[in-house]
Chains A and B, each alone.
Chain A
């Protein structure tokens, strides 16, 4: 049952691969951030080799792959950072 909606943001290389800045996702209760990464890999061939997710942010804070998403969450996968 798909009972919650989250906002997924795309940055850097992931924005290029997804071709968009953001999308809304309808997910079942209990879905983890890591599971969203796995579905992203199935969707985009360029991500198939990346079995482990990059860093994950939920609501603008770093989070673990097993973080359970909640309705209204903002999720972003954080590719290797290169600031400075």
Chain B
């Protein structure tokens, strides 16, 4: 299960991933910020096509593990209402040496942002808007 409705406990994720053979881990957290394209943001609602998002994240995780056989990896993405400062996603990669952990973590977040069916609606003093919809198609 890669999706959660609860706050993310990044420390617990690191503990779950680390093996005695690992000499490094990389923890990436995506955090709700208070602005987007010049507009103030107070909170974000994250929506997902849950079963498909689970499958898409799993496919990405499996592909990255096949490219980086020495890496251990986990991902958690939070859904629902988040406020400024909350973590929306955490990715932990661990490996015997740091280079693979950095590379695998970077690849994981980049690919998750590209294809996983998760959406966010930003709310601020000017109203609310689904990110990416306006002006597309």
Taking beta carbons and an 8 Å cutoff, which residues of A are in contact with B? 9, 11-13, 15-16, 49-54, 57, 60-62, 76, 78-84
Contact = CB atoms under 8 A, between A and B. Distances in A.
Contacts of B30: 84
Contacts of B136: 50, 54, 79-80
Nearest to B120: A82
B137 A11 contact: no
B137 A51 contact: yes
A82 B52 contact: no
A83 B113 contact: yes
B55 interface: yes
B131 interface: yes
A23 B57 CA distance: 26
B49 A78 contact: yes
Given A52-B137, A61-B52, A81 B88 contact: no
Contacts of B130: 12-13, 16, 79, 82
Nearest to A60: B52
B49 A82 contact: no
A52 B114 CA distance: 19
B137 A82 contact: no
A12 B121 contact: yes
Contacts of B77: 83-84
Nearest to A11: B49
A80 B118 CA distance: 9
A12 B48 CA distance: 8
B73 to A, nearest CB: 15
B117 A81 contact: yes
A54 B119 CA distance: 13
Contact of B119 (A61, A62, A82): A82
Contacts of A76: 49, 52, 117
